[in-house]
Every structure is written in structure tokens, then in C-alpha cells.
Amino acid sequence: MKRLFIFKNPTGSQGSLNRPGQATKTNAYTMKNLLVLLIFVAMTTDLVNAQNSGNPEHKVRISVSIDSKKDKDSLDGEILAMTNDSVKKDTTHVRIGSTGFDVIEDEDGTEYHFGKSHHKRKNGSDRFDGHWEGLDLGFNSFAKTNYSGYESYDGFMDLNQPKSLEVSWNISEINIGLQREKNTIGLISGLGLTFNNYRFDQPYTLVKENGKVKPQQLTYENLSKTKLAVSYLTVPLLMEFQVPVNHHDGRLFVNAGVVGGVNIGSHTKVKYGDTKDKDHSNFSINPFKYAATARIGYKDISLFATYNLNPLFKDGKGPELTPFTIGIGLISF
């Protein structure tokens, strides 16, 4: 059994609730009363069909929508409510502009949601949703290396590449859509934490003398690890472009921009045998970092690259090294 309800305005024109000459206040009052009526219709129709079906597991969803025009003094649309006893699972939705009311009924009971519209497109959202939040894992390296001030220790910060890792926990995300009707282009900002490990390939560690970083050679026979670790609090500013693919089942995306970081800690670590030595010092590392970044991916998986725009150490306080990272985004929150 199917039922179709089409509500018409007092003038008899289907789908239009606008009365020329009335003030905005009157229209707002009409919209409020209409919303109450729609809620009543949704709840009543659910009850009637549940009784008629005679099936306690029967799930009903009523779809009622009103599409608002730009003219704030008018509200045009069509109100539909349809049920089908042969379908045990469907959708319930009442929407006026960006305001929505959802009625969800199943064997576990009935849920009501009121506020901003919960309606979603096939791609999952009416709003722009960027790709920053999540967990990233990358490999660190140095570009533009210059040890001219360390003639006797050239290359003391050469890296053991497979073990020089970056882990980024991008905690929060702010999205700003740049399109009026679509949700495929937007700006992204947020907050994150980045932990960089620079695992040394040579038997050296770092010490600080008179404000300058100097290498210290290690002579332990059972030396298993020597590294520099640096942590940052990061804030990105990115622009992202998205392309829906596979019938809107997912999106291919590309974003690029800059990431600013504040150095919140650094230390060296030396491990030999069962002994671990740590030195918590700033090692004249730049208090801020600025990096260009780009990312490409599909759904929740992505590849990214980050290239610092300033060196790791303060000018004249250490070797000239420009960090960069290439990695993969593993998890999206």
C-alpha cells in the first residue's frame, strides 16, 4: 500500500506557500506553523502505517521537503509524504531551508532530531569537508645540506633514512567552503602535533656550546641508537579541490598550502646496551617552522609531501639543513 500526500496553499497552487503582499513576519509565522504541521503529519503517518502493516518490525520513513528560494519573503516548494508497506527500511526527513526535522522509527524505538538539516547528498555531506584531521606517517630527510662551519665533522647528521620517521596527529579541522551551490572547493585550517625523529647514521650525538650546536663522537661498542627528536604544534592553511568519482561513492582530492609550526620540545637520545641517555635542550633549533605542503588522495588514504621554507637550526648556530618529509595519511577522523 502506498500513500501520497500533497499539501497546497490556500490559493490552490501546488507547492507554493507565498502570499503576495504579506510581510516577512507573516511568512515566518506561516513557516513556523507549517513546520509544526509537518511534524504532526510525520508522526501520525508513522503510527497509522505501523498499525496497518501489523508487523512490529516494520520500519517507515517519510520524506517531506520544502525548497526555499532566495527571496526571503517567499517559500515555494512541494510537500510529499510517501510510505510503502513492502519496504522495511526507508528514510524520514522534514526540511525547510537549512532547518530540518528527522523522525527515525525501528524496532528499537523512535528518534527525533531537530535543528540544522541532517539531509545528505550521495557524497555524504552538503558542506565542504576537507582532509587534514587524522594520522600521518612519513620519512624525514634533509635538503641543501651545508657543513662549512664543521670541517672536521662533515656529515655528522647524515640520516639512517628508513628509521628517520615523522608522526603527525592532526587533531582538529576547520573547513570553509568557497562555492555557493557545490562543496568541492574550500579552505582548510586546524591544529595538529608533529613529532620528527632524525636517526643519525654516524656515531655522533649533539651538544651545545656557547649557543652553537657541535657534534660529539660516540665510542660505545654496543651503540644501537643515536637521534635528535623535535616536536611542533602545527597550524595549516590549505586550499583543496575535490572530484566526486565512482557515482559519488568517494572523492579524489588534492590540497596544497603552508603549515606553520611552533617548536614545543627537542632532545637527543643515545642508546647503548641497556642504557639510554637523553639530553633535553633546544639545540639552537628555530622556534618556528614554515613549510610548503601538498597532498593527494582518495577517500581516507592520501600521499603527502612537506618542504620546510626555513632551516632546522638558527642562522650560524648549527649546520644548514632544510628538512622535508614524504609520507602517507593512514587514518582520517
pLDDT value, residue 9: 45
pLDDT value, residue 38: 59
- pTM equals 0.63
Residues 96 and 195 in one domain: no
The domain tally of the chain equals: 2
Tell which of 57, 82, 116 closes a domain: 116
**Contacts with 30 (C-beta within 8 Å, 6 or more apart), sequence order:** 17, 19, 75
Provide the residue type at 12 as one letter: G
The count of other CB atoms within 10 Å of the CB of residue 161 is 12
Residues 270 and 157 in one domain: yes
Tell which of 57, 89, 116 closes a domain: 116
pLDDT value, residue 100: 56
Residue 128 maps to a domain: no
Residue 145 maps to a domain: yes
Residue 123 maps to a domain: no
Cell triple for residue 72? 526571503
pLDDT value, residue 49: 53
Sheet strands side by side (includes 93-96):
63-66, 93-96, 99-106, 109-116
User: Rounded to 10 degrees, what is the CA torsion of 142, 146, 152, 157?
Assistant: -10
pLDDT value, residue 105: 63
Kindly tell me the burial class for residue 156, based on how many C-beta atoms sit within 10 Å of its own C-beta (0-12, 13-18, 19 or more): buried
**DSSP code of 152?**
G
| pLDDT tens, residue by residue, 14-27 | 444 444 444 444 45
Tell which of 56, 84, 116 closes a domain: 116
pLDDT value, residue 293: 98
Residues 79 and 146 in one domain: no
**How would you classify the pairing of strands 63-66 and 93-96?**
parallel
Q: Which domain holds residue 70?
A: 2-116
Residue 13 maps to a domain: yes
Residues 284 and 198 in one domain: yes
pLDDT value, residue 286: 96
pLDDT less than 70: residues of the chain: 1-125, 332-333
pLDDT value, residue 43: 54
Average pLDDT, the chain: 76
pLDDT value, residue 234: 98
Alpha-carbon span 7 to 243, nearest angstrom: 38
pLDDT value, residue 132: 93
